[in-house]
Structure 1
Amino acid sequence: MMNNSKQKNSGMVMVFALLILMSLTILGVSSVSSSLMQNKMAVSMEKRSLAFDAAESAIGAVMFESEDKTLLSNDNLNDPLSDARAGNQIDLTVQELSCFEDANWTNRSLTKNGLTKNSQHLAAGNYIDSPNVKSWSRTAFVREQACVGSSNVIGGSNISCHVFIVKGCGQVEDSKYVVANSQNASVFAPASQ
């Protein structure tokens, strides 16, 4: 009888030990799975952050080029806003300023070589090499309008505001998405009418 009781007790201990081992295994697998998921999310957030920085830099590059006095005084080269003004006007009700539209809009690239005075930034290349990140912009002319709030400054003159939209785009290589940001720019210029 004593032997039978010992066997029952040792059988119960073994069942409890197996239950504890199974619980620990489930917890371990769950922890590893959670860690892998968090790692993927962190990598994705880092890629989005790099792409966003590239998009913001592309907008800054358009502004740099548009304010480059050396470039503006060169009759052979145009800044992005002048190129956009000379090109197609965007109709935002039916068109989209897309990061992938090369034909209709003024296109610029920003590479790891940075920005150079008296230069249109048209060369292809990476914004960052490790990982490979592309940075480019699209600029379109939106409309010409009276300059709001400037009547005391330029009232009665032949000056109007030329409104542009600049879209900066950034993409990490092997990424399925492009991060983009847009900015409107208004420039005082002679009225065309």
Structure 2
Amino acid sequence: MKQQGLVMVFALLVLLSITVLGVSAVTSSLSQSKMAVSMQQRGLAFDAAEAAIAGVFFESEDEVLLSDETKTDPLSEARQDIIFDPSSDTMSCFDDGEWTDRFMTEGGLTTGDRHILDGSYQSATSTKSWSKTAFVREQACRGSSNVIGGSNVNCHVFIIRGCGKVSGRSSVVANTLAASVFGPASQ
């Protein structure tokens, strides 16, 4: 009789340990799944932020837009706005109206258009993509004076922040780029 009771206790201990292992495996699997989804969403938001930065350059190099005197590209607009001081100013993805805004949508980028209408960048996983552009300063260009040439050309320095957000998440992924373009010197 004593041996049958001992076998039963041993069987219950084995069953308990298998249950604990199963529960911990399920818990681990769920947390890994959550981490994978989070990383995927962060990646989608980062891609949206990168696309927003690329959109600024697309629009700023758009010959159709540049030849239309009634429209301006993001860099030209930022050049006319307030000057951004990196030592004291911040550029948040949520600053409304303070910096030049451009949006990327599912429709993509089309030549001759100012991309100022907000919309979904991607609908499979609803994602937003937008950029903020600010003028920093005008400075002498560095490099060979034979190539850059003369006092009538300076480098105009801009800060471009691309922002991406996946709906349902409170966080925004941002990437910032400093860009310098040749432009006429201010007199």
Which residue does 1:28 correspond to in 2? 22
How many pairs are equivalent?
187
Are positions 1:62 and 2:65 aligned together?
no
The change in CA–CA distance for 1:119 and 1:150 in structure 2 (over 3 A counts) is farther
- RMSD over aligned CA atoms reads 0.8
Are positions 1:47 and 2:41 aligned together?
yes
What displacement does 1:25 show?
A: 0.4
State whether residues 151 and 185 of structure 2, in contact with CA within 8 Å, keep that contact through their aligned partners in structure 1: no
Counterparts of 1:57-96 in structure 2, within 5 Å, are 57-96=51-90
Amino acid aligned to 1:80 = P
Which residue does 1:3 correspond to in 2? none
Which residue does 1:4 correspond to in 2? none
Matched-pair identity in %: 59
Which residue does 1:97 correspond to in 2? 91
Give CA deviations for 1:101-153 in whole Å, capped at 9, x if unaligned.
Answer: 12210000000000011100011110000110000000000110110114222
SS at match of 2:57: helix
The TM-score, its normalising length taken from structure 2, stands at 0.98
State whether residues 157 and 180 of structure 2, in contact with CA within 8 Å, keep that contact through their aligned partners in structure 1: yes
**Runs of 4+ deviating beyond 3 Å:** none
What displacement does 1:162 show?
A: 0.2
SS at match of 1:11: helix
What displacement does 1:182 show?
A: 1.0
Q: 2:147 aligns with which of 153, 168, 174?
A: 153
> In terms of Rg, which structure is larger?
1
Q: 1:17 aligns with which of 11, 18, 22?
A: 11
Distance between the aligned counterparts of 1:149 and 1:135, measured in 2? Answer: 35
Distance between the aligned counterparts of 1:149 and 1:75, measured in 2? Answer: 32
Tell me, which stretches of 5 or more residues in structure 2 are unaligned?
A: none
